[in-house]
């Protein structure tokens, strides 16, 4: 009788893999290389040299780890590290760096070129081109870089972008009888609706050298003109050659030197140090609004955790009784609100709180302006969040209660403890050991509960004299409004608010975890 031998881990590692596995591995690596090359070309077009270097390092690391049969632990660590760097570390670095700037992303040189292109005026007698507006094939028609496909009066084809003008090969190009290009290899020609949706067309011009440029006239023609704005590098000023107005640098933009007239709206990136944080602390309007929002933010997070936990715990205690029939059915009903996406529930509650047609006022006979009155709006948010949050607390409390040994409760009963005393002295301490850290996590989540506030009230209602700070705003919705709303969004200030939110939540979470650590002695 022969004895079977077991292979050692080393033998398993050195065993030759099947052919199909080798093919799949190298095919996957080839796809990574192709994808990285495509992404690198796109980044090169945008001038993101640093991103290309980072991408190259990541691809080399992937090839070094997965092209050999060694480094088994690294094969599992690399995907997590890449996702950690891309989705966590990099956004944090960008947020911190933005907080110390004025929030702009364009450089001063690019700003000057944009101002000069915008000032291009048609020169008398200059030729006009037949124009088609396009983006690179595969790019989003709403956000892709613009290209002018031009037919000159002599019939030659040109293609122009923000970098300049070049010849366009006639191979594969389809034109109308008037010469307008309708199809060109490698490009997607935009239709009238898509062109009208592009807000950047009005300021787009193809530079032609010597301060000249080509701009669109309507949807089918373009003219070649010259810029009326010139830049003097020695004095760092712009001059309008048509009016003689001189513009100097102030707060990262060009403003009239004599103080008369308007400044150019374009602003370039500039390091401002701690100015954004100083603004939050010293500007009376922002400071008052920040403190007001912070107070409501704390109350909302605390009340949300408290109400959902109490309701979820009471329901868990009720359905933890073995004498109750149909517990599984009732439990499945109670978790239904948790199964529905939060944004759907928020929109449903927004409609139910409508003053005139909402279900809440209709059923109760009330006439409360739930979303228009500051205090009613706060109550509406807490009610909606109670509906959204109690199933989660119910689930975790149910699991924690089922983990408590029955003999502990039986011993308390033998010692003469009534149900209330057993709940206070036995069940609650053991329950908090399990759910304490989850309550802190729930507090942190509700402290930044952007979705509910944004969809239910939008941060409102707002005061008539200050539309930037709403009665139900959280710090996160306030930061969002600073960054993406208004005529001049302030990304730098919004990033500074985000950093303060991080430190506030981190500090409160640290204190909370220190407190809950004492509960471990219960075990």
231 phi and psi angles, rounded to 5 deg: -115, 130
For residues 521 and 240, which has the higher predicted lDDT (pLDDT)? Answer: 240
Closest CA to 227 of 118, 108, 125, 129: 118
10 Å Cβ neighbour count for 364? 10
- Alpha carbon 90 to its chain's center: 13
Question: Can you give the pTM of this predicted structure?
Answer: 0.75
The verdict on whether omega for the bond into residue 238 sits within 30 degrees of 0, i.e. cis, is no
Residue 6, pLDDT score: 53
Q: Specify whether 324 is located in the same domain as 261.
A: no
Instruction: Look at residue 192 and give its three-state secondary structure.
Output: helix
Domain annotation covers residue 194: yes
Residue where a domain terminates, one of 49, 72, 99:
99
Q: For residues 368 and 372, what is the distance between their CA atoms, to the nearest angstrom?
A: 9
Which residue has tokens 């037949």? 130
Domain annotation covers residue 504: yes
Domain annotation covers residue 83: yes
Percentage of the chain beyond pLDDT 90 is 40
Domain annotation covers residue 4: no
pLDDT band with cut points at 50, 70 and 90 for residue 351: very high
The tokens describing 138, both together, are: 């595969």
Q: Specify whether 206 is located in the same domain as 255.
A: no
Residue where a domain terminates, one of 239, 268, 297:
268
Q: Specify whether 365 is located in the same domain as 390.
A: yes
* Residue 491 buriedness (CB in 10 A; 0-12 / 13-18 / 19+): buried
Q: Specify whether 299 is located in the same domain as 404.
A: yes
Residue 8, pLDDT score: 52
Per-residue pLDDT at 1 exceeds 50 = no
pLDDT band with cut points at 50, 70 and 90 for residue 249: very high
Domain annotation covers residue 273: no
Per-residue pLDDT at 235 exceeds 80 = yes
Per-residue pLDDT at 488 exceeds 80 = no
Q: For residues 245 and 18, what is the distance between their CA atoms, to the nearest angstrom?
A: 76
For residues 401 and 518, which has the higher predicted lDDT (pLDDT)? Answer: 401
10 Å Cβ neighbour count for 253? 19
Q: Specify whether 222 is located in the same domain as 239.
A: no
Closest CA to 385 of 480, 455, 476: 455
Residue 14, pLDDT score: 57
Over range 292-308, report the average pLDDT: 95
Query: Which residues neighbour 129 within 8 Å (Cβ) at sequence distance 6 or greater?
Result: 148, 150, 151, 152, 153, 158, 214, 221, 222, 223, 224
Q: Specify whether 23 is located in the same domain as 117.
A: no
Q: Specify whether 374 is located in the same domain as 500.
A: yes
Q: Specify whether 221 is located in the same domain as 239.
A: no
CATH of residue 56: 1.20.58
User: Which of 113-117, 384-388, 452-456 shows the lowest per-residue confidence on average (mean pLDDT)?
Assistant: 113-117
Instruction: Look at residue 469 and give its three-state secondary structure.
Output: strand
CA angle 287, 288, 294 (to 5 degrees): 85
For residues 63 and 488, which has the higher predicted lDDT (pLDDT)? Answer: 63
Q: Specify whether 366 is located in the same domain as 506.
A: yes
pLDDT band with cut points at 50, 70 and 90 for residue 13: low
Residue 487, pLDDT score: 63
Q: For residues 387 and 324, what is the distance between their CA atoms, to the nearest angstrom?
A: 24
Domain annotation covers residue 2: no
Q: Specify whether 178 is located in the same domain as 238.
A: no
Cα 245 to Cα 175, 237, 261, 419, distances in angstroms: 44, 10, 9, 85
Name the H helices within 47-153.
49-66, 72-84, 90-99, 108-118
- 355: domain range? 281-522
pLDDT band with cut points at 50, 70 and 90 for residue 348: very high
Domain annotation covers residue 195: yes
* Residue 504 buriedness (CB in 10 A; 0-12 / 13-18 / 19+): middle
Average pLDDT over all residues of the chain: 87
Q: Specify whether 92 is located in the same domain as 198.
A: no
Task: Convert the pLDDT of each residue in 321-343 to its tens digit.
Answer: 878 888 888 888 888 888 888 88
Q: For residues 136 and 219, what is the distance between their CA atoms, to the nearest angstrom?
A: 18
Q: Specify whether 63 is located in the same domain as 173.
A: no
In DSSP terms, which residues pair with 81 in a beta bridge? none
Instruction: Look at residue 147 and give its three-state secondary structure.
Output: strand
Per-residue pLDDT at 9 exceeds 60 = no
Task: Please give the tally of structural domains in the chain.
Answer: 4
Q: For residues 247 and 261, what is the distance between their CA atoms, to the nearest angstrom?
A: 10
Domain annotation covers residue 163: yes
């Amino acid at each position: 009788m022969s004895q079977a031998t077991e292979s050692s881990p080393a033998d398993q590692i050195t065993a030759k893999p099947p052919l199909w596995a080798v093919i799949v591995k190298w095919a996957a690596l080839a796809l990574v290389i192709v994808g990285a090359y495509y992404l690198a070309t796109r980044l090169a077009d945008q001038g993101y040299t640093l991103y290309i270097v980072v991408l190259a390092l990541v691809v080399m690391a992937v090839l070094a780890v997965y092209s050999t049969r060694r480094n088994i632990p690294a094969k599992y660590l690399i995907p997590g590290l890449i996702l950690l760097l891309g989705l966590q570390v990099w956004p944090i670095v960008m947020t911190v760096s933005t907080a110390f700037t004025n929030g702009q992303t364009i450089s001063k040189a690019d700003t000057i070129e944009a101002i000069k292109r915008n000032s291009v005026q048609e020169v008398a007698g200059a030729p006009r081109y037949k124009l088609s507006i396009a983006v690179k094939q595969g790019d989003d028609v709403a956000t892709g870089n613009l290209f002018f496909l031009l037919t000159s009066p002599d019939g030659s084809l040109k293609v122009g972008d923000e970098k300049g003008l070049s010849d366009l090969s006639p191979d594969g190009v389809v034109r109308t009888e008037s010469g307008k290009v309708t199809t060109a290899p490698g490009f997607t020609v935009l239709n009238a609706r898509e062109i009208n949706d592009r807000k950047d067309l009005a300021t787009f011009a193809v530079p032609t050298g010597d301060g000249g440029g080509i701009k669109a006239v309507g949807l089918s023609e373009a003219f070649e003109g010259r810029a009326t704005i010139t830049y003097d590098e020695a004095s760092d000023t712009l001059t309008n050659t048509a009016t003689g107005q001189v513009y100097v640098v102030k707060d990262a933009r060009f403003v009239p030197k004599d103080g008369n007239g308007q400044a150019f709206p374009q602003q370039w990136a500039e390091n401002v140090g701690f100015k954004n944080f100083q603004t939050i602390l010293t500007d009376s309007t922002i400071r008052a609004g920040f403190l007001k929002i912070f107070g409501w933010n704390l109350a909302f997070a605390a009340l949300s955790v408290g109400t959902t936990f109490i309701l979820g715990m009471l329901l868990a205690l009720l359905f933890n009784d073995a004498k109750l029939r149909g517990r599984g059915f009732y439990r499945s009903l109670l978790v239904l609100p948790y199964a529905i996406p939060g944004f759907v529930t928020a929109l449903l509650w927004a409609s139910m709180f409508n003053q005139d047609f909402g279900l809440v006022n209709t059923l109760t006979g009330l006439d409360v302006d739930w979303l228009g009155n500051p205090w009613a709006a706060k109550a509406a948010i807490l009610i909606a969040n109670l509906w959204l949050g109690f199933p989660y607390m119910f689930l975790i409390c149910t699991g924690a209660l089922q983990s408590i040994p029955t003999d502990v409760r039986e011993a308390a009963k033998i010692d003469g403890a009534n149900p209330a005393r057993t709940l206070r002295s036995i069940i609650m301490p053991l329950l908090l050991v399990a759910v304490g850290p989850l309550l802190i996590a729930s507090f942190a989540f509700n402290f930044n509960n952007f979705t509910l506030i944004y969809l239910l009230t939008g941060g409102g209602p707002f005061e008539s004299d200050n539309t930037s700070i709403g009665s139900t705003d959280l710090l996160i919705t306030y930061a969002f409004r600073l960054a993406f709303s208004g005529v001049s969004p302030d990304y730098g200030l919004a990033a500074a608010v985000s950093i303060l939110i991080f430190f506030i939540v981190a500090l409160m979470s640290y204190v909370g975890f220190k407190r809950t650590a004492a509960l471990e002695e219960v075990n």
